[in-house]
Chains A and B, each alone.
Chain A
Amino acid sequence: MSGTRESSAALRGFGAVPAKRRHIKNTLILFCPADKRKDDKTQPRQGGGRRFSMKRAVITGVGAVTPVGIGKEEVWKNVKAGVCGIDRITRFDPSDFACQIAAEVKDFKPEDFMDKKEAKRMDLFVQYAVAAAKMAVDDAGLALDKEDGNRVGCIIGSGIGGISTLCEQHARLLEKGPGKVSPFMIPMMISNMAVGQVSIMFGCKGVNLTTVSACASGTDAMGQALLAIQRGDADIILTGGAEATVNELALAGFSSMKALSTRNDDPKGACSPFDKDRDGFVMGEGSGIMVLEELEHAKARGAHIIAEVVGYGSTNDAYHMTAPAPEGEGGARCMAAAVENAGIRPEDVDYINAHGTSTPYNDKYETAAIKTVFGEHAYKLAVSSTKSMTGHMLGAAGGIEGILTALAIEDGFLPATVNYRTPDPECDLDYVVNQGRAADITYAISNSLGFGGHNASVVLKKYID
């Protein structure tokens, strides 16, 4: 969600740029001697005051509830075909709003995934998470009741939590008084309840955490899950993101920030990342959850391995509430950190699933950040924004984009950036425009950048035993 327009830009201190540039350079010198470690990935690392040998983490199942379909097969088929899930908002009458479009999840029936009573106690974002988690567990062929629950964890991100529940109960407070506010309001609304309910449903009694870093939440969840598996804290972690913010209050708030596209007359063409005429992001919703599993555990049960997760970077711009730092310096440090953490060289990276929100600033600065980290190689690797199809699923974005990156590697197919019409001289990389294409991908990065200056990147790798 990073990257609002003029309003935020006016608040900046551009005088600080040279210092920040120096900072990037220094950081890269710190982060880049990755090749020295390249052939010795299993060496013990210092961490948290103790030494340990890192374990490997692989994705063995995925589940998705998205504006372009529900379930792995439907979502991947539609993403490959360039189907856009954006349309005029149906959940409420958007006529009074500057932005009247969103990427809503269609045809979601909670009773397909959980019983009616359970569903009633969940905000929509939690229902999405539970449904996606169930699909991921099924896809992984896991019988969780046969696992030791203490070795099964759950780390899911949500940027906002149960805002619709909050709004409904606030209306009751105003209309009927404090005695009529539902006792379920708090436990339905709080952002950690996706993790809470998924853990109840699947017996995740081990490592448990909710990441709340705005639009980086889902990627931070994946990254924290990776670290926990590498440390040996868990054998299995259900991880990803969930969000359900197609709601009057959320839409009004994002609208006031001038962050949203207002191409109401052309919903399908509204989200156009990296295009010269891009005019803002389009709100999406849903959940992407994956089963991240310790490699030996996955092999022992003969699991199908979709891709390996090998690196994580987390930084903050420390610059502005919503505007990205000039030249995307925070995002650059983050990608460099993820590459370093993976123990690879920048030129090993074949594909970046970009944050690519379609806001003027995000796409310009993310492009600059990619050039900072990858140099000439920036023009050789492929970059695409699947948000052009799914909309911006906010805290769920990292979850679904991590999944799409894994499927891209497994299937050997780069998903497109759709709606690309007019080249922007400031965005001059290979964005896989309008048509996806076959490609052999060994290493790929999924980027997420969030309000609050949060940056998160994960590195995925084709699984090779």
Chain B
Amino acid sequence: MQLSRRKFLQMLSIAGASTIAASTGALSLPSLAFGAEEGSEEFRYSHCVMCNHGPHCGVKALVKDNKILRLEKRDGYNNNLLCAKGLSSTQDLYDPARVLYPLRRVNAKGSPGEWERITWDEALAEIAEKFNGIKEKHGAEKVLFMTGDPKEPRSALQRLAFTFGSPNMGTESSTCFKATELAVKLIVGPEWHTATSLATGAGPTPGKTKVCIIWGNNPGWSAPFSYNGLKTGQESGQVKYIVVDPRITPTAQNFADMHLQIRPGTDGALALCFANYLIEHDAYDKDFIENWAHGFEEYREYCTEFTLEKTAEICDIPVETLQKACDILVTEGSPIVCKSAAAFPHHTNGINNYRAIMLLIPLTGSLDVPGGLSIENEPINFDEWWGTFEFARSKELLPELDHLRVDRQYFPVWADTDQQGSLQLNKIPEYVENGDIRACLMLGGNAMMWPQSHEYQEAFKNMEFVVAGDFYNNAWTHDYVDMLLPVAMSFERAAPLTIFGRKVFLREPIVEPAGEARSDYRICCDIGTALGFGDVFWNGGPESDENCLREILRTIDVENPPTLEDLRAAHPDPIEIPLKGEAQSKKYELGLLRDDGQPGFSSPSGKVEFASEILREHGFDPLPVFNEPVYSPVSTPDVAKDYPLVMNSGSRVPYYTHSKERHLPWLNQFMPEPVVRLSKADAEERGLADGDMVRITSPVNDEGIVAKLEITNIVRPKTIDMFHGWHQANVNEIISRDFDPISGFPPFKEGLCQVAKA
């Protein structure tokens, strides 16, 4: 059918076009929906923070009259794609439920909130009065400064906490990245850049990497920006993939040359089995071990316990499958890479499980070589959160304040290896009960983050004063706070910058903050000023983001660091800080990893520690020993009689991040309510049908939680898959407060439970 002139004109008039382009060929229809009206449209650039603030995927926003018409991916940029969440971020921005004004609670905490609107001046005055009052009476360290998932506020929040005089700044990394980081520190030493560049591993380099183990990770959903790198590796035909995961996931489907559907909590045994097999078959880097390993003999002997047969039994993997996976490692050779998830150590034996996995890297000669896992070259003094250590004032002020940290008594290994200035928060109920923490500033917090969440809600309730900053008023957290401040979203703020390694991008606010929302950086500066430190915070105000950015840039320890003007001139392109020398492999041979410039690592022995001296010093077994989960069919068979299913939580879905985004209509349609997944056999055994409402109980919670059942083949038999982040069915209420004694991490991905019709 031809496009008649009449139709052509009609379509234009619907779109409101004021001009008609001439027909010049087959596709002569001019742009209709996009640019037809009067008024200028332009593209503005920022990045997305809909997942965990890490990847900073690029956003190109089409803006007209200060409104975002649509988002597109941003080219000429590192992570130049957008996922379902990123594409939904305007729904967050325009959500009518956003908190727009400072709110003060008028009724008692612990009940549904009744709030009165106050001004920012009133809010800041009260915060200052309360915090300074506590400082005077009890000490500044009694005030806790924390974030939940949001990473962007952290450098500014540290500057605030440490200037105020409290070392007690903590984050959600109490259950996330810091355990992988700690496990690696126990191998290569506490030097921060080395550990963080290795911690969660990386994908393969086609042509160099022989094997990529994707361990407890579903990057197809949790990190789409990394997917293409993995796919390119596979399509090169030169990399073999071993996927270790109890579930069938798109990652397992799309990659695995070998998929090991392991019993949750037994990954340490599997890693030790791999090591034993490699050692027995002489398929490891003897040269490296001879020169750079510490405690290898103890380790080698311990690994001999993990034969194929024994490991197959522990991990509940068929022995032939296990053999095939081991043979891939031996046949393909090295270097290998391991790609894992930040929160992989959600086990009571998490640190040692992860150490066992990461030790495969030095064992196979894959450490800081092309195709293996690389350590950063000439690291810049950026902290983990796009600030600098100098801006955050951590190195400057923490040494004096360190003895006032509240977590050392519980998790000394964490506290003693921490170079970031970040607390282990999982003992908040104890900190409050002991009187060690009396007040809190919480920027983006979530009481559901912790096992037995109600104990943490109670702790916040019992604090003298809690002020939270958030986009939304979430009852499960904000029913326990005294004040709620409106925070600006990603497209409304300029800080922090977008930094990928050595590339720095400007981040321009795309639209004005809604209502009276302020950026986290500005909130920290305003509070800092109200507390009496105006000189440190440039007296707060609307210039705060810019003032902070200038300070961050000024303190980058390179010659002629870029200025804000430089970044604006380059925008939307980045400025890349060049290396002084060349990128190097095997930096440990060149004295580039230690503060004293000597060859080796920053570990106590100066070598890669297969037996950790830091652990030995703290009274722990120095080897990466395997222990069963605190609750498991093997460690607690009596409990398993009543609770025969292995609990697993924390699986990702591509349209939510933790508890975020559930209220966004574009995403909520994909999973509108809490869901738990069971295999067909387990469901049939319990007389359950797809769609039934079921109750999930555990040894620590008989009442349990109720969720909708999905029967699926992607879940391992005798295991459940329960999604976290649902306030109506908070899986954390069936998880015990048994923490990994080294990291303090909770057992989100192990344990026992039962499922029955609700």
Report if A and B associate in a common complex. Answer: no
Residues of B within 8 A of A (CB): none
**Interface of A with B (CB < 8 Å)?**
none
